[in-house]
Amino acid sequence: MAMLRKGITESFGAAIHALNASHLTDGVIYRSKRMMLDTLGVGLLGTRTDVFNKAMQYSQMFASQERSSVWGNPQVALPPYYAAFVNGIAVHSMDFDDTWHPATHPSGALLPALLALAESLPRRPSGLDLLLAFNVGIEVQGRLLRFSREAYNIPERFHPPSVVGVMGSAAASAKLLALPPAQCSHALAIAASSAGAPLANAATQTKPLHVGNAARRGLEAARLAQLGLEGNPAILDLDRGFGVYYKDYSPAAMADCSSGDFRWMLEDQAVAVKRIPAHLGMHWVVDAALAARAKLEGGEVNFDLGRIRKLTLRVPQSKYIDCPFPATEHQARHSFQFNACSALLDNKVAVTSYSKANMGRPALKELLSKVTVETPEGNQASFDKMYCEVEVETEQGSTYLARCDTFYGHWRRPLSQEDLVDKFCTNASTVLCTEGVEGVVDAVENMERLRQSSTLTSYLTMTSSLQQHFYRSRIF
């Protein structure tokens, strides 16, 4: 008798349930631990932002018997769903988190949900349990993104973490809860009804909520499925199901992980790790602007940025990252013009570049008024294929041109481990004490050997030297 072929949603539920630690490869473990460390660093830095503080104020109105930690805030614990929410917002509050291809921010919707859930379980998961669930959530996002060619380009309608992030959070949470296959499928179906956020809220304080909501709603979906709530068991199979988010939806079943056909997507496609807290497209224009400035310095006898007559940027077509005169830090993080001009003026772009003081400088405003943006037809709006050119024309008639095809930190030019750890330490040290920073690095590095994932969580709230004696014993 022939075996019945699984539906697409059913295949996902089966894979979420069946994947186990033996499927994790050295390459996937290495890449996912890098993603975790970077996510924790930008999340800790993000706990000191205005948007995080507003979300925290709101979330403290809710109470439950279960309480989970808020990163960088040892005096506050929240119901797990709201801890996932605020920590997810912190991760994306400065647009400093990792980016994948097809386009999404894969980690911010997962790690806050998993750490919040882990604290609420009667049996505390191990580090390996956490690592496996994280990779299941990454895999589900990667598979869903490849159901559409539209997803390969810089998005036009929906912010991707709000679409696939909530599904990844549901899958990862379902895995940590050890749900059976049917409930894993229902968790995806429930999460799909919380998916989708308009791209019009990019460059506003609401954009970080997309990641926070993905973390929270995915966790809620898994918990509801655990209680027996059901959704459409074919949610991924249908154009009127998950297909509503794409114009060219073409789903495919997930390979049976018990066969030799299964291979993690993270094995073949690494993520981009950002060096500046801004939309990923800004990294191309910043590197090109820095190279143009170096040529300008070398070519002008009396180097003076005030003598720039015209600044031309050649970038891909994308409306939401074309912001000529940004008025807020969130607009600035999504402005080709602002980031190119900041790089030219300061010979760098950093966290402080988006402060009110720096944004209000007369020299910056003057340079912004000289910018022209061109969108060459062959410059594709894809993080895998785009480029940026910066051309500086001086009053003396000289021209200096620089181009960036692949910035440092892109998956084609990944950050060294030393630079990635340095980024984490720089970000985390603004919040945690030295032992907390070192403890997180150590815990993530040894994640697959941690007996309890709570070891990591304890370091994430270690902001005072008064707490150090409590955490001196590391549990492996």
Q: Which residues contact 202 (CB under 8 A, 6 or more apart)?
A: 159, 320, 334
Number of residues assigned to the chain: 476
Closest Cα to residue 404, out of 415, 392, 385, 389? 389
Instruction: Quote the pLDDT of residue 53.
Output: 94
User: What's this model's pTM, rounded to 2 decimal places?
Assistant: 0.94
Instruction: Quote the pLDDT of residue 4.
Output: 47
Asked, as a colleague might, if the bond just before 79 is cis with ω within 30 of 0, I would say no
User: How many Cβ atoms are within 10 Å of 472's Cβ, its own excluded?
Assistant: 8
Q: Label residue 466 exposed, middle or buried (CB < 10 Å: 0-12, 13-18, 19+).
A: exposed
CA–CA gap between residue 389 and residue 404 (Å, rounded): 6
| Letter string b/e over residues 380-419, b meaning 16 or more CB atoms within 10 A of that residue's CB | bbebeebbbbbbbbbeeeeebebebebbebbbeebbeeee
Tens-digit pLDDT string for the chain (476 aa): 334 457 999 999 999 999 999 999 999 999 999 999 999 999 999 999 999 999 999 999 998 888 999 999 999 999 999 999 999 999 999 999 999 999 999 999 999 999 999 999 999 899 999 999 999 999 999 999 999 998 888 888 899 999 999 999 999 999 999 999 999 999 999 999 999 999 999 999 999 999 999 999 999 999 999 999 999 999 999 999 999 999 999 999 998 888 778 899 999 999 999 999 999 999 999 999 999 999 998 877 677 888 899 999 999 998 778 889 999 999 999 999 999 999 999 999 999 999 999 999 999 999 999 999 999 999 999 999 999 999 999 998 999 999 999 999 999 999 999 999 999 999 999 999 999 999 999 999 999 999 999 999 999 999 964 444 443 433 33
Instruction: Quote the pLDDT of residue 1.
Output: 32
Which residue type sits at 328?
Answer: T
| Beta strand extents in 338-467 (DSSP E only) | 371-374, 388-394, 399-404
Instruction: Quote the pLDDT of residue 153.
Output: 84
Report CA dihedral (454, 460, 465, 467) to the nearest 10 degrees: -30
Q: How far apart are the first and last CA of the chain?
A: 49
Helix locations, 147-278, DSSP H: 160, 166-176, 181-192, 207-226, 265-268
Instruction: Quote the pLDDT of residue 462.
Output: 95
Q: How far is CA 181 from CA 171, 188, 226, 234, in A?
A: 11, 11, 11, 13
Backbone dihedral angles phi then psi of residue 75, each to the nearest 5 degrees: -85, -5
CA–CA gap between residue 11 and residue 181 (Å, rounded): 9
Instruction: Quote the pLDDT of residue 5.
Output: 59
Q: How far is CA 344 from CA 277, 292, 298, 375, in A?
A: 17, 8, 14, 21
Instruction: Quote the pLDDT of residue 255.
Output: 87
- In this structure, the strands spanning 371-374 and 308-314 are parallel
Q: Which residues contact 295 (CB under 8 A, 6 or more apart)?
A: 400, 401, 402
By the 8 A CB rule, do 110 and 171 touch? no
